[in-house]
Amino acid sequence: MSAHDPASAVTGTKAPGPPDSAAADRALSTASAGRVKVHRFEPSGRSITTVVGRGDEHWVDPGMRFCSCRAFYFAMTRGGNPSCYHIKSARVASDSGKAEVVVFADEEFDDFVRGLVPEL
């Protein structure tokens, strides 16, 4: 706690610092490796984003800050900060144009989701 940090003086908590550089490097590496995929369904334009992690593929919704990975789940159940490198990777890939876009027909949506759900 520092004297010039009013939030820490009042609450006794440390203000958030700069992002963890190891996590940022991991997110950039994942995005650069093409492991972030946006599955776009046409003509509706619906999309599902997935990130291939260490052996598993996880569904992420960066806008809602959701990921299907265990780290996210346990952070949520323990009241911690619900974030993971999959969400960060999806944001980095989206912002930098590195997300791989895979186009499907709308008729394939149900089968795609059925295939994704058992992985959750």
Q: Where are the domains of the chain?
A: 20-119
Mean per-residue pLDDT, 29-50: 93
Residue 100 scores a pLDDT above 80? yes
**How do residues 41-92 score in pLDDT, each as one tens digit?**
999 999 999 999 777 889 999 888 899 998 898 888 888 777 788 999 999 8
- φ and ψ of 50, to 5 deg: -125, 155
CA nearest to 86, candidates 76, 101, 71: 71
Would you say the pTM of this structure is higher than 0.75?
Answer: no
